[in-house]
Structure 1
Amino acid sequence: MFKLAKGRVSYPAVLGAILFMIVQVVANLYLPNLTADIINNGVAKGNIAYIWSAGAKMLGFSLLSVAAAFGNVYLAARTSQGYGKNLRSDIFSKVVHYSNDELDQIGTSSLITRTTNDVVQIQNVAMMFLRMMIQAPIMLVGAAFLAYQKNHTLTQIFIYVIPILIVLMGIIMIFAVPLFKKMQTKTDNINLVFREGLTGVRVIRAFRQDDFEQERFDGVNRDYTQNATKVYSIMAIVFPAMTLIMSGTNVAIVYWGGHLIANQVMQVGNLVAFMTYAMQILISFMLLSMIFVFIPRGQASAARIQQALDLKSDITDPSDPEKLEDKPVALKYDHVNFRYENAEALALTDIDFSATAGQTVAVIGGTGSGKSTLINLIPRLYDASDGSVNVDQTNVKDVTQHDLHGQVSFVPQKANLFTGTVRDNMQFGKPDATDDEIWHALKVAQADGFVKEEGGLDMHVEQGGGNFSGGQRQRLAIARALVKKASVYVFDDSFSALDFKTDADLRAALKADPEIQKSVVVIVGQRVSTVADADTILVLDDGKVAGKGTHKELLANNKTYQEIVNSQIREGDDK
């Protein structure tokens, strides 16, 4: 946790909180001494003036304690919340630069838990550190010393009480700490199932799996509830046990102290002060026990966050990067192989092709043939295992990811839209895009019609584009990519939700657009009609290029392509 705190907390605020807490504890420790003086020198002797004088002093120390407590709480809260804010910001900044491999290693639901629940645990521990962890040891030592000063004979009571406390707290920690650590993993499981249920709610309803998903969620929810019930039931023992011990200690002090007063060995005021110090000692032990229970949970959260922050990506920027400016537009795969991490077989084998400005490369093949994997190498969502991928005659590994992404405009399989307006989404890749540029991109993407009808560029876009149909979302995602000027435009099966006419009109508009003609266009498609007019068609089969050429060439000479065409003719999709 201290490693995480480095550079993320305000050290002056931490120092200020510590100083305020010291002042508060010293003031609280001095109050019982004043109480003893009032009883011994004021009440017992009938000295009203002394009572007023000592009472005024007690009021001053009380106000000082309250002011110090306020300052400590304010600085502790500010420090812990700022700590959490910086942690969340750093985690998000790290995650958005993850490659697909890193995202797969941790998982989306776990990342959400680490950014929310785990950070809250760290904040709680930070707050506890600046309150209890400073207060408890100072109060324990100070109260023990002052209690011994009042009467060293009575302090023998703690020889019996403190071991009982230690054994009680030890038993609670043995049973509670492992359960606290498990709660974070079980929170991950709830988030995973809940997130899958939300994103797949239409599929669940379509296949009438409502009961199955409900049982699945009830299972992880029950698991979390049972774990939480156990741990908080154990923790519930602490307070009644502490109350019993404190009450027993008070009874012993009064009984033994009464004999000392009767024998004129001890004054009444000193007994009252001793009882107060005894309570402060016991409360300090309780606070320390709470700290030792909750710190392991915070430590587990810190380890999970540190794992996310320390995750090293294989995709890094070169130390001496090249520049892509003013280089001829081109895309080239030079005998590229790719293997997923821990996979035995290659996902892509000896991919070799090239394209220059104005050319369109289409990729077609069966499900699982490696189409999306192939194009994911262009923006370095993955890195080639062997060979090289070159954009503008430069290996993508030899330029910074920032510069590379500036030259690549990418439309993924799933059309992701963000909450805001149509204009906000269109300016995602080019913040200074004008309305004219946006409308031109919408026109090319065949999206200008419904955008005009439904409110124009200021039309609200719900989360994920939920207020648009699948085809409309795809066209908006394509338009967003077209607003950005790039050397390579990549469309990963981005026409799948479009009807044949819209598909044909969109591809014709792409081919006729003078800006797009200056770039390389890569289209991944399932339908032959989508790829038929490409300059080069790559036919993938099991990660290998089973054919390369134009539609006519492949139709005449390539068996795999012929099978795809014939299957779609039988299905009525193509001629």
Structure 2
Amino acid sequence: SIRQVKEKDGTTNPSIYKAIYLFARKKAAINALFAVINASASYVGPYLITDFVNFLTEKESRGVKSGYLLSLGFLCAKMVETIAQRQWIFGARQLGLRLRAALISHIYKKGLHLSSRSRQSHSGGEIMNYMSVDVQRITDFVWYVNVIWMLPIQISLAVFILHTNLGLGSLAALAATLAVMTLNIPLTKIQKRYQTKIMDAKDNRMKATSEILKNMRTLKLQSWDSEFFKRIESLRSVEYGWLLKSLRQAAFSAFIFWGSPTFISVITFWTCMFLGIELTAGRVLSAFATFRMLQDPIFSLPDLLNVMAQGKVSVDRIASFLKKEEIQHDVIEYVSKEKTEFDVVIERGRFSWDPETTIPTLDEIELKVKRGMKVAICGSVGSGKTSILSGILGEIYKQSGNVKISGTKAYVPQSAWILTGNIRDNITFGKEFDEDKYEKTVEACALKKDFELFSGGDLTEIGERGINMSGGQKQRIQIARAVYQDADIYLFDDPFSAVDAHTGTHLFKECLMGILKEKTILFVTHQVEFLPAADLILVNDA
């Protein structure tokens, strides 16, 4: 839906409100129809009560047939009400689940395409908050949206029934009902402000908690755990304070609205007594039944306004996230292998991590790598070695120049990324298991001895973020993952930094110069002993 809005409006930042409307309008319209039928049928009972009481008092003169017809009317109205209610409730749940899946999918895809600058302002904890808390609040609104169509019908029918039975007394009931509902306006504004504060406090707590959990080993080694525990407690106390204020305000709203039916009844009957309107048994019972039916719109209105306030805040937060800057999608030009002998070409490349700066990270880069070449990239720390690989991947902002790639790419970053699961799944990474290819990959990446040490071999479960693996093991697993993908171009960012000299030599000879000897490889390294084997050496000078 967001893509459709983007194409239709010709804008890079489509309205999420319009996208949600286009996504949900058909199903929401069907749900609204059932909700209106449900609201209308629910007032048939209170409307017929007066006639039913009159029939009981005048049973001999009116005959049994009219009693049967009244009973049939009660039964049919209740059946229609129940069936319609089940349908709109089921439809609302179904639509909520579909909208939830769509929003989570868009947030996830957006997270994959965020630029480096956008990633700095959104931690993993914040993005998880969008997927869990904010999306849930939007789906809650889908449930309550049908109350918007039901409220005017319920109030109109209630006033009609009261006017039929009590005459001008119904105006007092309407005035009392509107007065109670008007109290929602200031209460909703306060609740909206509280919800904004709660979500900000929750984001700060989740961000701090996520960072602490990622660096728990360092905190334990330095005995900083108690200090950071106090920080988490202070952030939690701020969130607790706003939650307490929100709940107090909700309790005050509940007190007012639970007492509202009694208040409306007293006002209405006092008005009838003042105007001299006769209160018969049938009229009083019908009025009480109508007041009972009025409880639903009165009770649901504060919840509706509260959910609307929460939903508005959550939609704005998600909309703000979805409008964040992305990596450039047209930065790389892909060329077929038949049209060129070069796998990687950079012409007059000008790259920068900050798109707004006038001083680029890399300037006037000229690079042509033929198919099958081995290119070593070396230089001092911070000289831009990783930035060259990022330019080939399209992860860094390209200010000018051309980047042409011929073939598929596989990238091995400096810090190992490990998927929770077993070792084999981390290496195959969704590809079909080929035993011969797998064994060659494991042997080339020096993982055979490691598998012998593990009780489950390559089926050993890896803890979250590879917590039960050493740095060298995690590095070799991600190298094996890249090798198993059988790409055309391999980008290694200092692959030997986490392994010892002997293992590094084995990886270079058996992996880079062995199993990948036919592939195009660009590798960043500080080990000068590997440079003579390279076909081209790039030296970055900071």
How big is the shift at 1:200?
A: 0.9
Q: Give the corresponding residue for 1:79.
A: 95
Structure 1 window deviating more from structure 2 (46-55 vs 517-526): it is 46-55
The answer to whether the Cα contact below 8 Å between 2:335 and 2:404 also exists between their aligned partners in 1 is: no
Rate the CA distance shift 1:205–1:5 in 2: closer, same or farther, 3 A. same
Specify whether residues 325 and 36 from structure 1 end up closer, same or farther in structure 2 by C-alpha distance, changes over 3 A only.
farther
User: 1 CA distance for matches of 2:79 and 2:484?
Assistant: 64
Match of 1:23 in 2: 37
Match of 2:308 among 284, 295, 301: 295
- Residue 96 of structure 1 corresponds to 112
For the pair 1:170 / 2:171, whether they are aligned, the reply is: no
Change (3 A) 1:456 1:328: farther
The answer as to whether partners of 1:147 and 1:278 remain within 8 angstroms in 2 is no
Trace 1:431-470 onto structure 2 (pairs within 5 A): 431-432=431-432, 434-454=434-454, 455-470=456-471
Q: Could you tell me how far 1:32 is from its partner in structure 2?
A: 0.6
Structure 2 CA distance, aligned partners of 1:53 and 1:466? 74
Matched-pair contact (CA < 8 Å) for 1:334–1:352: yes
* In 1: Cα distance, 2:338 partner to 2:249 partner: 65
The alpha-carbon distance between structure 1 residues 153 and 468, as it changes in their structure 2 partners (threshold 3 A), is same
Letter in 2 for 1:272: L
Give the C-alpha shift of residue 215 in structure 1: 1.7
Contact 1:363 1:525 in 2 (8 A): yes
Equivalent residues of 1:329, 1:487 under 8 A apart: no
Alpha-carbon distance in structure 2 between the residues aligned to 1:235 and 1:172: 9
C-alpha contact (below 8 Å) 1:21/1:135 kept by paired residues? yes
**Matched-pair contact (CA < 8 Å) for 1:329–1:518:** no
CA contact (8 A) 1:28 1:62 kept: yes
Q: Which amino acid aligns with 1:4?
A: A
Q: 1:33 to 1:174 in 2, by over 3 A?
A: same
Percent of residue pairs identical: 20
1:451-496 Cα offsets, whole Å, 9 max, x none, are 3553444443343233322111110100111122233211112222
Q: 1:426 to 1:48 in 2, by over 3 A?
A: farther
The alignment yields a C-alpha RMSD, in angstroms, of: 2.9
Per mean C-alpha deviation after superposition, the further-off stretch among 489-498 and 342-351 is: 342-351
Once the two structures are superposed, the pairs formed by residues 278-357 of structure 1 within 5 Å of their partners are 278-281=291-294, 283-311=296-324, 313=326, 315-317=328-330, 322-324=335-337, 327-341=340-354, 342-343=356-357, 345-357=359-371
Assess if the C-alpha contact under 8 Å between 1:10 and 1:79 holds in 2.
no
TM-score, normalised with respect to structure 2:
0.87
Contact 1:257 1:271 in 2 (8 A): no
1:384 to 371, 386, 398: 398
Instruction: Mark the runs of 5 or more structure 2 residues left unpaired by the alignment.
Output: 1-15
> How is 1:365-514 mapped onto 2 (pairs within 5 angstroms)?
365-392=379-406, 407-428=408-429, 431-432=431-432, 434-454=434-454, 455-513=456-514
How many Å separate the matches in 2 of 1:480 and 1:386?
33
* Contact map agreement 2:37 2:81 (CA 8 A) in 1: yes
Aligned twin of 1:135: 150
Q: Do the aligned partners of residues 516 and 377 (structure 1) sit closer, same or farther apart at CA in structure 2, a change above 3 Å counting?
A: same
Instruction: Give how far 1:7 is off.
Output: 4.9
Which residue does the alignment assign to 2:7?
none
Equivalent residue number for residue 216 of structure 1 = 231
User: Matched residues in 2 for 1:73 and 1:463: separation?
Assistant: 39
Equivalent residue number for residue 277 of structure 1: 290
Q: Deviations for 1:271-302, whole angstroms, at most 9, x for unmatched residues?
A: 22123334444642442343223213212211
Contact 1:445 1:479 survives alignment (8 Å): yes
Q: Distance in 2 between matches of 1:488 and 1:408?
A: 5
Does the CA contact (< 8 Å) of 2:327 and 2:394 recur in 1? no
Distance in structure 2 (CA, Å) of the matches to 1:389 and 1:318? 7
Contact 2:349 2:364 in 1 (8 A): yes
Assess if the C-alpha contact under 8 Å between 2:375 and 2:537 holds in 1.
yes
Check the 8 A contact 2:391/2:398 in 1, yes or no: yes
Change (3 A) 1:424 1:355: same
User: 1 CA distance for matches of 2:58 and 2:332?
Assistant: 82
Unaligned runs of 5+ in 1: 393-405, 543-575
**1:292, 1:31 → 2: CA distance?**
28
2:250 counterpart (219, 232, 235): 235
Partner amino acid for 1:138? I
Q: CA deviation at 1:305?
A: 2.1
How far the C-alpha of 1:70 sits from its partner, in A, is: 1.5
TM-score by length of 1: 0.82
The residue number in structure 2 matching 1:32 is 46
Per mean C-alpha deviation after superposition, the further-off stretch among 46-55 and 333-342 is 46-55
Paired AA for residue 476 in structure 1? I
The question of whether the paired residues in 2 share the 8 Å contact of 1:358 and 1:516 is answered with: no
Report how many aligned residue pairs link the two structures: 523
Aligned-partner SS, 1:85: helix
| Residue among 206, 210, 219 paired with 1:195 | 210
Q: What secondary structure sits across from 1:491 in the alignment?
A: strand
CA contact (8 A) 1:491 1:524 kept: yes
Change (3 A) 1:137 1:160: closer
